[in-house]
A and B are shown apart, each in its own frame.
Chain A
Amino acid sequence: MSSLLANPLATPSQLYRRASSASLPRDVDEAVYFATQCLTQVAGRLLQLPQSVTAQANVLLARFWLGESPMAHEFSDVSAATIYLVSKLGPLPRSPRDVSNVYAYLSSANSALFPSGELPKDDPRAYYQTEADYYAFQQRILGLEARILQSLSFDTQVSLPHPLAITYLQTLDFLSQPRTTVSLRTIQYLNTALLSPQMLYITHQPNALATAAIYNAARDLGAKMPEHEWWEVFDVDREELGFLVVAMRSVEGWMQKLKEDFPSFGNNMLKRSMVEDELNRRGLQVGNGDNTPRDEEDEVMRMMDSR
């Protein structure tokens, strides 16, 4: 039964290999990771999927990118494929057509994801998809679905820390705080951690994530925590807890810095071409076999964006 409470984790050698054979400079790589995870979250909202589904898509994407260069496929396609796959396996399947529409909208100039001051007026023409567009999208997503499954050896199960965190909070009697306040804060930490480029969900077990989120929530709210080493009750040692507490707290500051470092990345859907431009600006070559000709679909998207 442990598979319901635990996840397979990245090994140090996998992490090392990823870091050493990275096709992108570290800061760009992290920016790409963050932007794509955010995109998945937003798409999950528009597809009306519960966070329990979208969060699993975030985790699958992290697992997939551990072994695969992010530059091998368009970021939004990988995001779409993971969310499609996870929703299919869960209680609320979404059709490829729905997924296609949502991603077309999000990457359009009309998208509310990248506000330029005020919300743009809804203009369906901006995200209209022709049959051919849809077909091309669907082919890419299904190809990626197979690809993702193979690189994860078909293990799609993700155990999330969210339910555990609530159980732990109950055990701690909600630290004598209002239940909703402390639960909300805890869940917020867990959700933010999904976006962390430190890939916390594939390096730490749910029980540790849950405990660290509770610790952070308690700190924020000034709640009194038990005096002894209560985290050991949840099978977390001090070292791991400390690391996670800092990692979770640091995401926000890191995001601020990201905005300053990559002002252009926040303006519209992040694409491989934008990353290539950034690398060219720095005078770097794109590594790791990204020699695939640019997709026709991307060209169309670009044209739409620039309208």
Chain B
Amino acid sequence: MSTKPKSRWASSAEDAEYEARQKKEKEEKRRKKALKLQEEEEKKKALLAAATTISQSAEANDDNDDAASSSSRPSKRRKLTPEPAASNNSSATLLRFDIGTWKPSRSVDNYDKLNDIEEGTYGWVARATELATGRVVALKRLKLEAGDPNGLPVTGLREIQILKNCRHRNVVAMEEVVVGNDVSKPDNSIFLVLEFVEHDLKSILQDMPEPFLSSEVKRLLLQLTSGVAYLHQNYILHRDLKTSNLLLSNRGLLKIADFGMARYVGDPRPKLTQLVVTLWYRAPELLLGTRTYDAAVDMWSVGCIMGELITREPLLQGSNEVDQISKVFELCGVPTEDSWPGFRRLPNARSLRLPKQSPLASGSVIRARFPNLTAAGASLLNSLLALDPEKRPSAKEMLEHEYFRQDPKPKPESLFPTFPSKAGQERRRRHEPDAPVRGQAVALGDVDFSGIFQGRDKEERGAGFSLRMV
């Protein structure tokens, strides 16, 4: 435990002798130096007494005795640094990782609750101030099942670990974890102390009278994508991206929040559950029951969010898994072996009955559904909502997309409009499905989708086209 001040490993007899000799020599030198200094001091005093060199020394430099002594008799060499160690005087700069230490969590009593923000499936969030500093924060209580035979929920522990490790301007920052006062009880409350952000994007979209300008949509998307790129670069899948999990500050800064579904995916890939992502934002491969998915599921959600930012309405509002996948096929077309190689091998796709393959039915109608989107915008949305996960761009690739370079340019955050804060006074409303929970897996079973495009050919084409909503 206790580090020895001297390096013991190298102390053979010769080493010791050598060191002793060195030490002696040093001692000798030091003694001589001290003697010399003393002499100088005396000389100086004598000189001062004679009072002959005052003007001279003032002319040279009058700030310290160094100058004084140099004026009297310059010492040959004055060492300012300690003598270099005997053998290794390497100047290599070594990389140092300092990520601090650990200490027990503080008590929630350090915070004073102001008001509830929301109480959803995944827990309770309140606005609070830290008593010591007066800073406003968001307190999120980890949802604990009383008497859970497995103890603390692993999702909550993952959320904490991930937030602890993340530092990015577009990811909500966690300051600490505080606990209730029943320290040794398994169901003692645990609170995440998060930075407080005024709005969530969902409420803003619901309340705004006019949709976001396309320059604003671009800035929001850029921020979302750079946050997602950061997560993916750090081997984190969010797995529940949706507008209600995106926060927006009064300064136009977007932050990704709620990492209750998130997890690290290393190499080799751990077994992943399909029970992820809120239904409306869930990628087709998940709906078809894939066991191996990757960052592309988050990119699908980004595509859904892009559509929602433009229209203010969630893009694909299925009422259940079957309805959801049929909505997906309505919008993006029916998969074929060409457009999505291998999709038939997915567990839920084997028994799907799809409409007859006609070029009309298998195409995407995204372009038609967003008539005001530029060609670049439509191509981006199209690629994000590609049925084949392989064809979706990565977050990093998306940041380079033409769409963000075209006019209108993304609006600077500082020019964003402000919105009246909901979190200040009232609870947030929710009209959307919740994130999935354990044990909800749905096999689609035998589903017949062959009728979903009936009547499509009777619809009008071209500008002003809107898909008939069944």
Contacts and interface: CB of A to CB of B under 8 A. Distances in A.
A229 B165 contact: no
A155 B165 CA distance: 9
Given A6-B99, A145-B186, A229 B161 contact: no
B9 A246 contact: yes
Contacts of B271: 91
Interface in A44-72: 63, 67
Interface stretch (A136-144, A166-174, A278-286): A136-144
A153 B105 contact: yes
A145 B152 contact: yes
B64 interface: no
Interface stretch (B55-63, B88-96, B355-363, B455-463): B88-96
B17 interface: no
Interface stretch (B132-140, B176-184, B219-227, B302-310): B176-184
B102 A8 contact: yes
B151 interface: yes
A95 to B, nearest CB: 8
Interface in B101-159: 101-105, 149-152, 154, 157-158
Q: Which of B4, B88, B97, B105 has the most CB of A within 10 A?
A: B97
Contact of B1 (A6, A147, A198, A236): A198
B161 A156 contact: yes
B160 interface: yes
Interface in B27-43: none
B101 A235 contact: no
B351 interface: no
B103 A153 contact: yes
A104 B452 CA distance: 59
Contacts of B10: 242
B186 A142 contact: yes
B150 A96 contact: yes
A154 B234 CA distance: 20
Given A89-B154, A243-B9, A154 B177 contact: yes
A91 B270 contact: yes
Contacts of B90: 229, 232
A5 interface: yes
A157 B161 contact: yes
Contact of A19 (B1, B102, B104, B187): B1
Given A11-B101, A151-B104, A157-B161, A246 B8 contact: yes
Contacts of B427: none
A2 interface: yes
A100 to B, nearest CB: 11
A105 to B, nearest CB: 20
A242 B103 contact: no
Contacts of A7: 99
A138 B10 CA distance: 50
A242 B95 CA distance: 18
A149 B234 contact: no
Contacts of A1: 234
Interface string A179-190: 000000000000
A296 interface: no
B7 A242 contact: yes
Contacts of A3: 99, 165
A145 B105 contact: no
A155 B161 contact: yes
Interface of B: 1-4, 7-10, 88, 90, 92, 94-105, 149-152, 154, 157-158, 160-161, 164-165, 176-177, 179, 183-188, 190, 234, 270-271
Given A10-B101, A11-B101, A153-B177, 13 more contacts: A3-B99, A3-B165, A8-B102, A14-B101, A84-B151, A85-B151, A93-B154, A96-B151, A146-B185, A149-B157, A154-B164, A243-B9, A246-B9
6 contacts: A95-B150, A141-B151, A143-B185, A203-B1, A229-B88, A229-B92
